[in-house]
Structure 1
Amino acid sequence: MQLRRFRWMSCALGAAVMFLFSACGSGATSPKELRRLAGSSEAVGARERTEGRLRGVVRAYADRTPLTLGLVEVRDNCKGGAAKEWFFQDGDDAVKINCSVSVTAYYGADPHRMGDVLEGILSEGDNAQSLVPFGHGDYRRKLVSYYRGHESNPLGAQAPEPAELSDRDQTLSWDSVRDKSPGRVIGEPEEWLLPQDPPVSRYLREPEAATVAGIRDRYGMMFRLELHAGYYRMFKDEKTKNL
């Protein structure tokens, strides 16, 4: 009797485990469905609007600050939703598709005029209608003065050279020009590891032959502007959200 009960419990447990793994393996967005959704008019329209907006920010820096644009990268990717998550839940199982685009721009500048370059960027950022969000403030005024040789490092005497401004939507970083430590310069773009497979994944490098090293050789130093935005998401309950 006990052996029969043990066998019955073992079978029941095995069936439960099989059901659980079967449920965990279902519900993920298929590659075919992902491609269909990524190529839909809603996704394409949201992609074009968002990329256009980010490219507008890139142009604003080139047109209205002392920076000279040398290279633009676009990394666009749509990911499918995961199967039902039973244990480690992060919300991916509620999503059918999630798309985002990153635009990174590389600019050249004169390292001998670093204070004037930053002043030009901050002056443009003072304009309330500007796409440049970095205006003057106490810290940023000290940063300009530091690069002009009038003040010490605003982060502290022993701190590394300040080489970044950031807010929620933008990060602007640059080569260290006063701290000559190795590794304190903008590197080449990271390799794009996804396949070139529009509309699911897409990579652009404009111009294709441009390099950070080449831009630095021409102008003396590098600035990098990093922008990222989600643009399209559809949940498995068919609710769509253009981000």
Structure 2
Amino acid sequence: MGSWEELARQFLLEEEEDDEELFFILLPAILPFLSEEKRSIHTSSLSGAQKVKEILEGHESWCKSEFRMEPEIFKATSNFLRREGLLRDTRGVNVEEQLGMFMYMISHNASNQMLQKAFQHSGETIHRKISEVFDIVPTLTQRFVKLPNSIQTHPKIITDSRFMPFFQIAATAVDFHNIIRGQNGDEGWLDHQPDHISPSQYVEVPEGDNNYPNDMDSSDGSNLRDQIALQMWAAYNS
């Protein structure tokens, strides 16, 4: 029996022969894949920037369909974002295309893969540019989103006869309901109210006093309520 060095040398030689045999078996199988030409996944004749340009210069309905915006609004938004430094042109992806990616995604619930196909960019580029647009949404919200004035009635309600004066009655009913809730539903407090209210307790009403009936005009509350109900029903059926 040989020394351990000879045994180790013989073992390595046998392993090397086995590896060579395995190599010659596998080589014919993998050779076609090694020689196969790699095909690009982005094969469209138009780049993303060219596609956006084509949409903006095409029919208005196409831009509305793809980006849910008129071309003029899309261009104005792109110029604003560029001018304010919220988005910037980068190598290969300008501001218009970045905005186009974002609007296309939220308009069509598009996945990253769909955006890759539509705009001919890698998934990493798509993800990075979409994230950059999301990052500026809080800034745009503070700039453009204005909370409505809870005291002032919306102009559309004031100027539409279908809503006024019914809205005034409804708003008064809501206020009265809140007062009753403030008394835990107990209406007994109404029996203990003074006959006259001190002028110091007067409250300014929206749109001025002239738009509200005085005590003489509304002496018969039941008739007024019935008239309003009939008018609302007529307006509903017209």
Fold-level match, TM-score > 0.5? Answer: no
TM-score, normalised with respect to structure 2: 0.23
Highest RCO, 1 vs 2 (Cα 8 Å, sep ≥ 6): 1
TM-score, normalised with respect to structure 1: 0.23
Name whichever structure is richer in strand by fraction.
1
